[in-house]
Structure 1
């Protein structure tokens, strides 16, 4: 059964699956669909063309699917899509997309702590942790298993790589490579995220290869083009290394060094 508190407003047309709970003073728009066993605490607002998956816990005063803050937005029929098993804490804001990507997307198994802001056309993959007051500007991409410390703003169009960790209070203005630690205002690379990699089950050989690649990229003094060529020749069969190289080669804003 679906549980809807007597003070909540659920517009006709909204689709609520079995086990959904809508708490006091929530507002659910007509183009919203919510998957099984997702729980909305009090005062949650979900609007626009929004799809929320299963087993999410959405805490009080969260706002999802509101208009983009992009001044070019003209009420296009864009979407907000959220996966399964997320925890979305108090006062998080997630805005719908614009006619760039046409959607804002949050994957599954993420923890978005209080006051996180996810702007238009952002993509957050799976298994990420965004601590309190992380601010993702428009068009940011966060790959899976990334951790971003509290009070960290991320510049628009920036990409955050998998398995990286960004220290709290940093200011991110260029792409952060996978597997690294970054910190500072402006953020700088401080080393590999060794503790995080071990916790995620990376083998000794995988970590050893990443250490050697890291030294070539950030400590050898080689021009980036030469370092990339040497890494590709030596470690071309390592999928983690190749993901790192692809990340760098496809960077639009340049990488944080």
Structure 2
């Protein structure tokens, strides 16, 4: 066991001999830290949490009681191969959150970025790739192989279907089931998720210039009402725009995907 002299481990915690605990890290009462776990500087693991598997937790992340991080994938094809969970810096992982390691067939790594908030009972499935500053509200689940872009907000009781991509800055309203890809900055509502517009509130909060928001609104109208099929509209946008935010949406639609898209209603 490699425990920095400035780390603090409660006497009732179990920290395996192979674990690495960084400077200023804290492990609270009755928590369990496995043999292949690395806790970076300043990581706080509160009481009754479990961090196991080949799991790296980045600097300043706080793990709340009863979270379970680094357990094996919920995938019947998993046969014990060595896979990982990598969690970035300054995340807040609240009570009862679960995050699984990857699978050999999915790339082997489940990855979470920096400065995210996972509220009570949220789940991150195997091989998911979650960006920076993502918020996942209570009891929402990100299935295996999903890709969640930066600055995405996922409301409570949401289900994200496996292999779905959600583009940067999108907003998923509560109690939605998202079965297809969501364009960057899109807004999804309804029990069976429907694309109902752009996340204008999020764009304004990020300080986007008025002309960029106007360009995005015009692009959305083109996608919703333009001539030709959805992909044809996206190709025209990609060819005709010089706005980086509009181009991001067009390139997202034209990229390879295992799913179809939620299209404008």
For residue 232 of structure 1, the aligned residue among 234, 238, 246 is 238
Task: Name the SS of the counterpart of 2:30 in structure 1.
Answer: coil
**1:45 maps onto 2:58 in alignment:** no
With the length of structure 1 as denominator, give the TM-score of the two structures. Answer: 0.97
1:29 is matched with which residue? Answer: 34
For residue 144 of structure 1, the aligned residue among 145, 150, 157 is 150
**1:245 maps onto 2:239 in alignment:** no
Q: CA offsets, 1:127-180, max 9 Å, x none?
A: 010000111111011000000000000100001111110100000000111111
**1:94 maps onto 2:99 in alignment:** yes
- Check the 8 A contact 2:101/2:127 in 1, yes or no: yes
- For 2:212 and 2:119, the matched residues in 1 are separated by 31
Shift of 1:225: 3.3
Shift of 1:186: 1.0
**1:113 maps onto 2:119 in alignment:** yes
1:10 is matched with which residue? Answer: 15
Shift of 1:238: 1.7
1:70 is matched with which residue? Answer: 75
**1:206 maps onto 2:212 in alignment:** yes
Unmatched segments (≥5 aa) in structure 1? none
- Check the 8 A contact 1:2/1:17 in 2, yes or no: yes
2:131 is matched with which residue? Answer: 125
1:54 is matched with which residue? Answer: 59
- Check the 8 A contact 1:216/1:222 in 2, yes or no: no
Task: Name the SS of the counterpart of 1:51 in structure 2.
Answer: strand
- Check the 8 A contact 1:9/1:26 in 2, yes or no: yes
- For 2:235 and 2:253, the matched residues in 1 are separated by 12
For residue 201 of structure 2, the aligned residue among 185, 195, 198 is 195
Q: CA offsets, 1:15-66, max 9 Å, x none?
A: 0010000000010011100111111110110111110010011100000000
Shift of 1:221: 5.3
- Check the 8 A contact 2:45/2:64 in 1, yes or no: yes
Task: Name the SS of the counterpart of 1:81 in structure 2.
Answer: strand
Greater CA deviation, 132-141 or 218-227? 218-227
2:262 is matched with which residue? Answer: 256
With the length of structure 2 as denominator, give the TM-score of the two structures. Answer: 0.94
- For 1:51 and 1:225, the matched residues in 2 are separated by 39
- For 2:244 and 2:103, the matched residues in 1 are separated by 33
- The alignment covers a number of residue pairs equal to 256
1:181 is matched with which residue? Answer: 187
